[in-house]
Structure 1
Amino acid sequence: MSARRGAPATVLVAGGGIGGLAAALALARAGHRAVVLERAPEFAEIGAGIQIAPNGILALERLGLGDAVRAAGVHMAELRFMDGVTGEHVTSLTLTERYRRRFGNPYVVVHRAELHGLLLRACRAEPRIELRAATAVTGYRQDAEGATALLADGGSVRGDALVGADGIHSAVRAQLVGDGAPRISGITVYRAVVPMELVPEELRLPTSVTWWAGPHCHFVHYPIAGGAFLNLAASRDNGATEALAGVAVGEETVREQLAGLTAPAARRLLGLGEGWRSWVLVDRDPVERWTDGRVALLGDAAHPMLHYAAQGACQALEDAVLLGELMVETGELTDALGSFAAERRARTAAVQRAARESIRLWHPAGEAAKERNRLLGGLSEDGLHERVAWMHGAKTFSSSDHHNYDAEPWA
């Protein structure tokens, strides 16, 4: 796939996060050489909990890591929806045997660093993958023979192609798409992790991802690290206009921002949080152009989304697997990259829209909240499963899998 049809290629991967490492692993398993260029001084992942639906586990399975992530993750029994004002248990999307039979895998939660560590160890064990830390990609150039990653220190790295997996602030995307800064959502999320031993036993819910929905705010919690910790994430639609990340915030501020959640259990859980940090959520609109000759975007560089559909990592993993498959099936490198973008574009755009649209579930007040409760509470177990089937049940990871991606995202 370099100078000769079908020949192994050397593919540069900008970014050593979950998407970048998965891409490198998929490319190596397809017989190519991958060189991962990570800007940080070492390969590591920050953040706390991450949810992996069956489509993400299937992608990891195709990368050879299915058993490992199933063993590392806490297997969830339900996505539990609570009214954060009244304390009413509105509904639960069950994740037990019926769900697992339908979608082929469990729904698990892990610490983000656990998932990254699984991918990193697999990459280090693969002789076709080279990992280079402290190597920040700032742009690229290309010609008929290959692609060159331009580095912050003035150097460069040459390969047959370049995959930009360098996140929502991607330097590769800045050159390829040129669409400026990400869109600021106006929503601030506050995150903390609590040792499970400090959580009252009746509030632990060790196999539940629990949402408390309130006026212009909501609160999510679930166990991570094998159940040793409870991950807390509280969101407030406060009109934030500046993109902040990881800023320390006081406990009183979090309680004030989430004052609309008056259910006693939600207040008690919020009160457990210490060392809160805040992020202003950002995303981007879907775009048509993901490729430029020998250069392609992947993961958050291609389709950054709000985390409310819990699909960001899953979609990056899907990207990686399909890219690897197409790099085997398609003879010409630029054809493979073009096919990859074409086959992923509609599906990922639908997930981006779904993540934005889900705010309508979390943040209504008054009569609108009551109507939401009636709607959700009236759905059967099969009806709830049907609402997520297009996301969680994907088998091919392609937009050509017969789903109408132009339909309403929760239809």
Structure 2
Amino acid sequence: MARILVAGGGIGGLATALSLAQRGHRATVLERGEVFAEIGAGIQLGPNAFHALDLLGVGQAVRDRAVFIDELRFMDGTTDEKVAAMPLTEAYRTRFGNPYAVVHRGDLFQPLLTACQASDAVELIAAATVERYTQDADGVDVRTADGRTLRADVLVGADGIRSTVRRQLLGDGDPRVSGHTIYRSVIPIEKVPEELRWNAVTLWAGPQWHFVHYIIGGGRYLNLAVTRDDGARVPVAGRPVEREHVLGRFPGVGETPARLLELGEGWREWVLCDRDPVDTWTDGRVVLVGDAAHPMLQYAAQGACQALEDAVVLGALLEGGTGDDVARRLEKFNAERRERTGRTQLVAREMGTRLYHPAGRAAEERNAMLRSLTVDDLYDKVAWLHGARDFARAAGGPARG
């Protein structure tokens, strides 16, 4: 049994702690916040995420809170035309072995937290900000901002895109600012006209902008997320913004997406960031997972999914590992995950520029390309992501059904 410290008590950190506990280790999660809680709005979960959640023992609890949608729908945001749709019902679930669903972030976080709280092998410590680590041949020491020192066999950095653990491990500076600003709002479903309550994740694509919406909270809310490719260079996280400002930032928006945008209230803005893929996430007894290792833009809807995959793979590879064997196993985890996650990072980035934001002739060519694809073509394109069952498999390998 190894003693493992996990820096970060978000979705990735709790999933990692749960996975490690299931494999016979003791995990202590250090969360910088005063309480363990998840902020944010909607999140999409592909079949690969549900497979990971099932392996972690919380799949049904998340399903009980999820909204199972009928299709992913791509619309021309200037003409209101439906360009393409990928059905997510029987044929999709049969092929990929699980559903596609949307949830509020808290409805994914809470089952993980509850499972960790119920485990004798998981300790949760709030108000513990990791400041630095040191290590020797026998273990790793973690120093917190309030002066505590904790010792373990392994440190897992699950502390997000601005990871303190990554800063020491890689020293590669701040995240890359994407130049995209996203505005988010969550509104009660009763404020949405009946004819606009679609059981779909709908994306409206416009010139240098796109708009995504879907129902969350067991059908109680509509999640709105609208993105502007505006060249923003300064990071912003959750800043309140006036409704009029949001409505004025999306030129040429069609009649239906305009109606939906006008429903938004309590808007907040973020300037999106990611990082380039890197080869190395380990330093002896220290390893990175989730956004600390491979932060990605949300356009492939895979950030949380890949963090859950990390948790499952790391737990499996550390089963039975102790002492000098630990560093080798962490390197194996790094080697087995970096290609898949790196490809996902780059695909997400490309989707946000080449697929969602073209204008004029380029948008027409995109629409024609999407219309030419059959449903099976669409399934084939996402199979490497949605159909994965062996999460250590290299990117692009055949999915295991």
* Local SS of the residue matching 1:223: strand
Tell whether the 8 Å contact from 2:240 to 2:266 is kept in structure 1 after alignment.
Answer: yes
Match for 2:124: what amino acid? L
Alignment of 1:334-373 (within 5 A): 334-359=327-352, 360-373=354-367
2:93 maps to 1:70: no
Tell whether the 8 Å contact from 2:184 to 2:269 is kept in structure 1 after alignment.
Answer: yes
Q: In 1, Cα distance between the equivalents of 2:132 and 2:299?
A: 31
> Residue deviations 1:321-343, cap 9 Å, x none?
00001111656211211111110
Tell me how many residue pairs correspond in the alignment.
396
Match for 2:230: what amino acid? N
Alignment of 1:73-112 (within 5 A): 73-112=66-105
Residue 404 of structure 1: how far off its partner (Å): 8.7
2:156 maps to 1:168: no
> Residue deviations 1:267-288, cap 9 Å, x none?
0000000110000000001111
Tell whether the 8 Å contact from 1:11 to 1:163 is kept in structure 2 after alignment.
Answer: yes
Aligned match of 1:398: 392
Alignment of 1:269-284 (within 5 A): 269-284=260-275
Alignment of 1:210-229 (within 5 A): 210-229=202-221
Aligned match of 2:29: 36
Residue 138 of structure 1: how far off its partner (Å): 1.3
Aligned match of 1:3: none
Aligned match of 1:184: 177
Q: In 1, Cα distance between the equivalents of 2:230 and 2:68?
A: 33
Q: Unaligned 5+ residue runs, structure 2? A: none
* Local SS of the residue matching 1:130: strand
Aligned match of 2:144: 151
Tell me: CA distance 1:371–1:173, structure 2 relative to 1, closer, same or farther (3 Å): same
2:326 maps to 1:333: yes
Aligned match of 1:409: none
Aligned match of 1:208: 200
Tell whether the 8 Å contact from 1:10 to 1:32 is kept in structure 2 after alignment.
Answer: yes
2:369 maps to 1:378: no
Alignment of 1:223-302 (within 5 A): 223-261=215-253, 263-302=254-293
Match for 2:96: what amino acid? F
Residue 401 of structure 1: how far off its partner (Å): 6.9
Q: In 1, Cα distance between the equivalents of 2:395 and 2:34?
A: 40
Q: In 1, Cα distance between the equivalents of 2:343 and 2:55?
A: 23
Residue 399 of structure 1: how far off its partner (Å): 3.4
Q: In 2, Cα distance between the equivalents of 1:404 and 1:106?
A: 19
* Local SS of the residue matching 2:237: coil
Q: Unaligned 5+ residue runs, structure 1? A: 1-7, 406-411
Tell whether the 8 Å contact from 1:309 to 1:354 is kept in structure 2 after alignment.
Answer: yes
Q: In 2, Cα distance between the equivalents of 1:132 and 1:65?
A: 21
Q: In 2, Cα distance between the equivalents of 1:388 and 1:62?
A: 22
Tell me: CA distance 1:286–1:241, structure 2 relative to 1, closer, same or farther (3 Å): same
Identity of counterpart residues, as a percentage?
59
Tell me: CA distance 1:222–1:48, structure 2 relative to 1, closer, same or farther (3 Å): same
Alignment of 1:131-150 (within 5 A): 131-150=124-143
Residue 150 of structure 1: how far off its partner (Å): 1.4
TM-score of the pair, normalised by structure 1? 0.95
Match for 2:250: what amino acid? L
Tell whether the 8 Å contact from 2:384 to 2:395 is kept in structure 1 after alignment.
Answer: no
Aligned match of 2:116: 123
Tell whether the 8 Å contact from 2:340 to 2:395 is kept in structure 1 after alignment.
Answer: no
Tell whether the 8 Å contact from 1:217 to 1:237 is kept in structure 2 after alignment.
Answer: yes
Q: In 2, Cα distance between the equivalents of 1:260 and 1:109?
A: 28
> Residue deviations 1:7-36, cap 9 Å, x none?
x00000000000000000000000000000
Tell me: CA distance 1:306–1:127, structure 2 relative to 1, closer, same or farther (3 Å): same
